[in-house]
Amino acid sequence: MIKRIAVHGPLARHVPGIRRYVQSHIQSESVRADIPATEIEFDGIAELWYDSVAAMERSSATPEAQALYADGALIIGKIKSFVVEAKVIME
């Protein structure tokens, strides 16, 4: 896995339009009896930041992005993607 990450991270640097790229690797899981847990299994989250949805769509169509996505499939197999808008509550 570490070898793939060393390849995958640099691929993101070459994708036009990505403003920020973050890999969050899960170290442990907190379980609370009063909050139901999801059945989804995953070991990390990758965040790709863009200036707009239009910038994301243009970026995703590039050969560099396609190479990044293909490499991601080698690491994790299945991908669940969300387009989100961040609401900063506190900094």
Tens of each residue's pLDDT in the chain, 91 residues? 555 567 788 899 999 999 999 888 888 777 788 888 777 777 778 899 999 999 999 999 999 999 998 888 877 767 778 899 889 999 8
Rounded distance, CA 24 to CA 83, Å?
Answer: 17
The CATH number that applies at residue 91 is 3.30.70.100
Residue at 58 is within a domain: yes
15 in any annotated domain: yes
The rounded distance, in Å, linking the Cα atoms of 82 and 48 is 10
Q: Write the DSSP string, 33-57.
A: TTSPPP----SEEEEEE-SSHHHHH
Decide if 35 is inside a domain: no
Domain interval for residue 70? 1-28+41-91
Residue 24 lies in a domain: yes
